[in-house]
Structure 1
Amino acid sequence: MTDTSTEATPDKPTHRSGLAAAAREFALIVVGALIVSSILRAFVGQMFIIPSESMQNTLLVGDRVVVEKLTDVERGDVVVFEDPGGWLGTEESGQKRGSVGRFFEVVGLLPDSSHGHLIKRLIGMPGDKVACCDEKGRLMVNGQPLEESQYLYPGDAPSAMEFQVTVPAGKIFVMGDHRSESGDSRVHLSDTGPDGGTPGDAAFVPLDKVTGRAILVVWPASNFSKLGVPDTFKSIPAPAGPPPAKPSISLTPPPK
């Protein structure tokens, strides 16, 4: 009779496999969170840093604002948009981050530095007639004067230059709340667009370059506030007709 000996089987390093599984699970959670954050940034909303004084005192330099992308913009909204071409100077272009910072911007873990973007108030929609100014010095939209004391920078006039425009199809007319420090639609009423064309084309922002509307100031905490449409815009009548294919521009005051 032959004895059969068996050798003891060593214990498996279960603690190592457990650590590996936990590491894999953690990595999957992080990757999933980054994907969700990126999707939210692309389609729902993102945060921007205010780079200039053009929207004071509604928005101050360094404020963090939340911009939502789900709803259509309307008159009176504060909107973020890509540079339509030739608008941005060094004072209004946010500081560009390096590759690492840009990665964290893209995945939504850092607020957008606003490089290549601007933020202004939407004054005229396609087809609207925007003019400055009436006999009381007020800006007018479709013949209705705006009462802008709610948001206009103290001491600023509604506009130092006179004009009459009809906003073309697919574009909007924007102005900063700090009018004397804002390079907005008015400044470009004699400029051609980035692809040439008719003088004044550059003054109007294509709707497809609008990132979204700013809805909240979230930082610093002392400046926390909701951004909405001022009451004066709620009484603006609809435009008299369909928007033209090309803008109508006159650098003269409207009839008084």
Structure 2
Amino acid sequence: MADGSRGEAGGSRLGHRISSIAVALGCVLFLGGFVWAAVLYQPYTVPTDSMDPTVKAGDRVLAERVDGDEVRRGDVVVFQDSVWGSSPMIKRVIGVGGDKVACCDARGHLTVNGRPVEEPYVQRQDPQAQREFSTTVVPGKKLFLLGDNRQDSLDSRTRLEDGDHGAVSRSAVTGRVDAVAWPLGSLGMLPEPGSEGFAALPGGTSEPGPLPWAVAAIVAGAALVLGGAAYGPLARRAALSARTRQG
């Protein structure tokens, strides 16, 4: 019995150490994931339905803090420009400096540098949804921005007559939208533009941000903390049950 008791005590001490390590590691992952996400991402509330169906008015989105020079075609960006208003706006990048953008070709597709672009995210209720506009050249260091809801979006098309052809400076960009955080029914990463769209153009599209890794760290950390904390009571119950059977 003495040897059995010493064995049980040794096993208990080992289990306690493993439990403590799991809880400590879990805390590091959990808090680290939150801090990582808070440093890299900024939450925004979508102000209008101009980006429907990708994001809707009132949705809470997470935008990675990026420099405007990192932005590529197809990105959904948050920007603030006094010409567009005093509040942050959310639109999709259609063209970058030097691009020739026009709408539409015979199939109703927007074109960039003469190449039609497939846009599966665009809300089309009828063939005229795109609202045609003549070819425009995007000035250097500027971005041509459109809403996914082409029927109900005030965007670069409405400012084609100004000096910048409706384009916005890259320096006006404050973030690149990666995911919807609220409501829960829309929770998740934004879909990628698609291989037949901007990814096929020179320069390609942006790689997804690190948000999934941060979320994975938070989830793994929470699991380790809960598992480690639960080990003690479970181990004591198991030991008590074993002693009861032996007695």
Q: Are the counterparts in 2 of residues 82 and 118 from structure 1 also a CA contact under 8 Å?
A: yes
For 2:188 and 2:90, locate their aligned partners in 1 and report how far apart those are by CA, in whole Å: 16
TM-score (ref. length: structure 2): 0.61
For 1:79 and 1:133, locate their aligned partners in 2 and report how far apart those are by CA, in whole Å: 23
Deviation at 1:40, TM superposition (A): 7.7
1:235 is the counterpart of 2:206: no
Count of residues paired in the alignment: 166
Name the amino acid aligned to 1:159: Q
Residue 135 of structure 1 is aligned with which of 106, 111, 114?
A: 106
Name the amino acid aligned to 1:63: D
The 5 A counterparts of 1:116-135 are 116-135=87-106
| TM-aligned CA distance change 1:213 to 1:158, over 3 Å | farther
1:162 is the counterpart of 2:127: no
Residue 51 of structure 2 is aligned with which of 52, 55, 60?
A: 55
For 2:114 and 2:168, locate their aligned partners in 1 and report how far apart those are by CA, in whole Å: 22
User: 1:210 is matched with which residue?
Assistant: 173
Q: Are the counterparts in 1 of residues 101 and 137 from structure 2 also a CA contact under 8 Å?
A: yes
Deviation at 1:63, TM superposition (A): 0.5
For 1:182 and 1:171, locate their aligned partners in 2 and report how far apart those are by CA, in whole Å: 19
Q: Would you identify which runs of 4 or more consecutive aligned residues in structure 1 move more than 3 Å?
A: none
1:80 is the counterpart of 2:43: no
Q: Are the counterparts in 1 of residues 66 and 174 from structure 2 also a CA contact under 8 Å?
A: no
The 5 A counterparts of 1:76-225 are 76-85=74-83, 87-88=84-85, 116-148=87-119, 150-155=120-125, 157=128, 159-191=130-162, 198=163, 201=164, 203-225=166-188
Cα shift readout 1:3-50 (whole Å, capped 9, x = no counterpart): xxxxxxxxxxxxxxxxxxxxxxxxxxxxxx9xx98x986x63200001
Structure 1 residue matching 2:198: 3-state secondary structure: helix
| TM-aligned CA distance change 1:202 to 1:118, over 3 Å | farther
TM-score (ref. length: structure 1): 0.59
Q: Are the counterparts in 1 of residues 141 and 169 from structure 2 also a CA contact under 8 Å?
A: yes
For 1:124 and 1:158, locate their aligned partners in 2 and report how far apart those are by CA, in whole Å: 19
1:68 is the counterpart of 2:64: yes
Structure 1 residue matching 2:98: 3-state secondary structure: coil
The 5 A counterparts of 1:24-35 are none
**Over the residues paired in the alignment, what is the CA RMSD in angstroms?**
2.4
Deviation at 1:236, TM superposition (A): 1.7
For 1:160 and 1:143, locate their aligned partners in 2 and report how far apart those are by CA, in whole Å: 17
What are structure 2's unaligned runs of at least 5 residues? 1-30, 204-247
Deviation at 1:158, TM superposition (A): 5.5
Structure number with greater CO (CA < 8 Å, separation at least 6) is 2
Deviation at 1:154, TM superposition (A): 3.4
Name the amino acid aligned to 1:118: M
Q: Are the counterparts in 1 of residues 133 and 157 from structure 2 also a CA contact under 8 Å?
A: no
The structure where helix makes up a greater share of residues is 2
Cα shift readout 1:56-115 (whole Å, capped 9, x = no counterpart): 011111110000014621110100000241x24xxxxxxxxxxxxxxxxxxxxxxxxxx6
